Every structure is written in structure tokens, then in C-alpha cells.
């Protein structure tokens, strides 16, 4: 099948689309990336997403409207991608769309006096995508895992295991998106041996600080130009490394609830009170991001397995300061980009959701209970039929 995977991450900078040719079934799944396309969100749309995701005041009407608007944006990205690849829509057989997360609480909490409730909400209506493209679409992947008692994340480890398992090498797949997450695949691992969890912030805090410091003129620290001009603020770094999330044992998921706008504002207030330079603050947070990942290795990964290779994907892989600090903190491990395995860093998550959609379409369980904490395997996603052909 030719499957289009689509992803909009926590940075909300736009939509990544990956065209994947897939055949067979696990453990003999054959996959090949045929193309990657990125569509940026209009500034107003990105602002609306971030405002909702950061918990700002909204209405049910606004959430409903944005759900359908993002469905249109995702459908447009799919159509534009097919034009770019000169691919007739009739040859595209399936679309898998993660949508845009605006709320995720993997662990349950008391709600309305009832039992503990966990919930997640991804918007970007898949019915709109199916209607505009005519292609059967699977979306809303996370709730099925949560209904099975899992945290609904991370989901990409299912694909990491299929792609990177090796009889002799212990590997960790690291994705540095808005949030950073790891998948440990020990040498000769069976699926039950895989460990995966969110380590903490990826680009999320860096992006938030850069946006605030530049008054919205910059969305991220391109090539770490700001961070490389600064010096680490040791007292702040030490305080950040005591964050309680880092000590929490897997399975665990992170998001804006821990490392979003509220936490970024605390850091900005800390720096303002002490008259710290903006570039010093950005450098400190970049180093914290790398050290929080390394801390997860020491606490939860090294006690379980020997690691030969670290395979890195996501936008953070392009931050030279973050990557240099990560290399220094994890000596003896070869760090390679996911492109070595045929998938560029920026295409990895969209690529993964194409594979997850393919498995769902064929009625096969595609969560990883060892990663999410689910009580049993589950078939993820909700299917919307395309036009009759």
C-alpha cells in the first residue's frame, strides 16, 4: 500500500507529511519512505493552537471550529504533497493523521468527585481529510491505548522496534520534538523487552523562551545561534535538574502541563529578577534539555541494557549545542541520525503514523503495552471511509 502519514507536533510549527510504501506484516514488514513534505501553519492558526494548548481561556465553540479548520489544513497539506510528488490521488490508498494535541493527561486524576480520569484530545477532524481527498483516513490514535489502561503515549516505539531491532546491538531511538522521548531496544529484544517513555522537554522550552525574548519574531533558536552566545547559569541549571518529572519512573508522558508556557514564564521571571542575559537563559535551557535526556539514561536505561547506538530524529537533532552536550553526556555511545536508516529526522513521526495506520487498517494491534502501560494490546485509531471508487 501507498500510505500517507501526517503529524503536527507540540511545537505546532506546521504539518509533516510522509509517503510510505508498505507491504507484509510484522515481523516481516517492508517499509520505504517515498517522499516528505512540510506545510507551515498560518501564523494565526499556530497562535490559536498554542493558546489552546497552553490552557488559555477558550470556548467549546472555538475548540470545535479549530478542530474542523485543522482538518482543512491537514487535507490541504495532503493534496499539496501529492502535487509535489506528482502522485495521482487515486494511487494513495490510506492516510494516517495524528492530528494536533491540545491536551494530554496520561495519568488519571480526580474529576467531578468521581474516580480518577485520564484523557487526551487531538484535533484536526479526520472526516474532513477523508472528504477532501477521497482517501480512507485513520485518526485519533491515542484514546484506544488509554481505554486499555495505558497513557496513550508514546506510540512511535512500536515503529522503532520494527525498524531498529538488532540481534547484536543495543539501540535507543530518541525523538527530540517539542517533547523528547526514547525507545530502548536491547540487543536481541522481543517486544516485551522494549522500554519507552518521555524524558522531558525537547524543543518546547527553548522555543517558548526564544519566542518571548524576540517578542514573537523568532519561533526557535536556528542553529543554536542564541544559545551559543550565552553561558550556562549553574544555579538555575541545578534547580531545573531537580524537577520531579525526571525522577518519576516509566511509564510516563510529558507535555505542556509540565514544561509549557507556565514553566517557561517561571524561568523568564527568574532571569528577569536576577538580570540574567537572554542568551544565557537560552543556553541554560538547551543544556538542561540535553542533560534531562542523559539523566533518563542513567536512571532507567543503563540499569536495563547496554547501549551501542543512539538514533536521533526530530527538530532538536538540528540544534548543534543540544547535540554536542548530549554527546558529551553520553560517552561511548555512537550517535547517528535516523537518515542513516532511510528516514530524515524531520520525517520520522509522520513516517511512523503511516505505519501505525497501515497496521490499524489491517486489524492488527499496534500499541506497545511495555511503553504505554496498557493492560493489553489494542488496535489504535478511528477509521473514516473515503469516497467510493
DSSP assignment of 168-222: S--EEEEEESSEEEEEEE-TT--GGG-EEEEEEESSHHHHHHHHHHTTTS-SS-G
- pLDDT at position 388: 60
What pLDDT tens digit does each residue of the chain (389 aa) get? Answer: 999 999 998 778 899 999 999 999 998 899 999 999 999 999 999 999 989 988 888 899 999 999 999 999 999 999 999 999 999 999 999 999 999 999 988 888 888 887 789 999 999 999 999 999 999 999 999 999 999 999 998 999 999 999 999 999 999 999 998 899 999 999 999 988 999 999 999 999 999 999 999 998 898 999 999 999 999 999 999 999 999 999 999 989 888 889 988 999 999 999 999 999 999 999 999 999 999 999 999 999 999 999 999 999 988 999 999 999 999 999 999 999 999 999 998 899 999 999 999 999 999 999 999 899 999 999 999 999 998 65
- What SS3 state is found at 382? strand
pLDDT-above-90 percentage for the chain? 83
Cis check: omega of the bond before 154, within 30 degrees of 0: yes
Q: Vertex 149, ends 147 and 197: CA angle to 5°?
A: 115
- pLDDT at position 25: 93
- pLDDT at position 170: 97
- Cβ atoms of 251 and 305 within 8 Å: the answer is no
3-state helix, strand, coil in the chain (%, to 5): 45, 25, 35
Within 10 A of 280 (CB to CB), how many other CB atoms are there?
18
Amino acid at each position: 500500500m501507498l500510505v500517507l502519514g501526517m503529524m503536527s507536533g507540540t511545537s505546532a510549527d506546521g504539518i509533516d507529511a510522509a509517503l510510505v510504501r508498505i507491504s507484509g506484516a510484522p515481523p516481516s514488514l517492508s517499509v520505504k519512505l517515498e517522499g516528505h513534505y512540510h506545510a507551515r501553519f498560518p501564523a494565526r492558526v499556530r497562535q490559536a493552537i498554542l493558546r489552546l494548548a497552553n490552557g488559555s481561556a477558550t470556548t467549546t465553540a472555538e475548540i470545535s471550529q479549530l478542530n474542523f479548520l485543522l482538518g482543512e489544513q491537514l487535507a490541504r497539506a495532503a493534496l499539496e504533497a501529492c502535487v509535489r510528488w506528482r502522485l495521482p490521488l487515486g494511487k494513495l490508498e490510506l492516510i494516517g493523521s495524528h492530528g494536533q494535541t491540545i491536551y494530554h493527561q496520561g495519568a488519571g486524576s480526580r474529576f467531578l468527585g468521581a474516580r480518577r480520569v485520564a484523557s487526551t484530545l487531538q484535533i484536526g477532524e479526520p472526516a474532513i481529510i477523508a472528504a477532501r481527498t477521497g482517501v480512507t483516513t485513520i485518526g485519533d490514535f491515542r484514546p484506544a491505548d488509554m481505554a486499555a489502561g495505558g497513557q496513550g503515549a508514546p506510540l512511535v516505539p512500536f515503529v522503532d522496534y520494527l525498524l531498529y531491532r538488532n540481534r547484536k546491538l543495543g539501540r535507543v531511538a530518541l525523538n527530540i520534538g517539542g517533547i523528547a522521548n526514547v525507545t530502548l531496544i536491547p540487543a536481541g529484544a522481543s517486544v516485551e523487552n522494549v522500554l519507552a517513555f518521555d524524558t522531558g522537554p525537547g524543543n518546547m522550552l527553548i522555543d517558548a523562551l526564544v519566542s518571548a525574548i524576540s517578542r514573537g519574531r523568532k519561533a526557535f533558536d536556528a542553529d543554536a545561534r542564541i544559545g551559543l552566545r550565552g553561558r550556562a547559569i549553574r544555579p538555575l541549571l541545578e534547580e531545573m535538574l531537580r524537577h520531579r518529572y525526571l525522577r518519576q519512573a516509566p511509564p510516563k508522558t510529558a507535555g505542556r502541563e509540565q514544561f509549557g508556557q507556565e514553566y517557561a514564564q517561571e524561568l523568564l521571571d527568574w532571569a528577569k529578577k536576577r538580570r540574567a542575559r537572554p542568551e544565557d537563559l537560552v543556553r541554560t535551557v538547551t543544556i538542561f534539555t540535553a542533560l534531562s535526556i542523559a539523566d533518563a539514561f542513567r536512571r532507567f536505561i543503563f540499569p536495563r541494557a547496554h547501549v551501542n547506538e543512539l538514533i536521533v530524529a526530530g527538530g532538536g537533532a538540528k540544534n548543534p549545542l543540544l547535540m554536542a552536550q548530549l554527546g558529551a553526556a553520553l560517552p561511548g555511545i555512537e550517535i547517528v541520525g535516523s537518515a542513516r536508516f532511510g528516514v530524515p529526522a524531520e520525517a520520522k513521526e509522520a513516517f511512523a503514523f503511516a505505519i501505525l495506520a497501515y497496521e490499524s487498517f489491517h486489524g492488527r494491534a499496534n500499541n506497545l503495552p511495555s511503553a504505554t502501560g496498557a493492560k493489553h494490546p489494542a488496535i489504535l485509531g478511528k477509521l473514516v471511509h473515503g469516497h467510493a471508487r
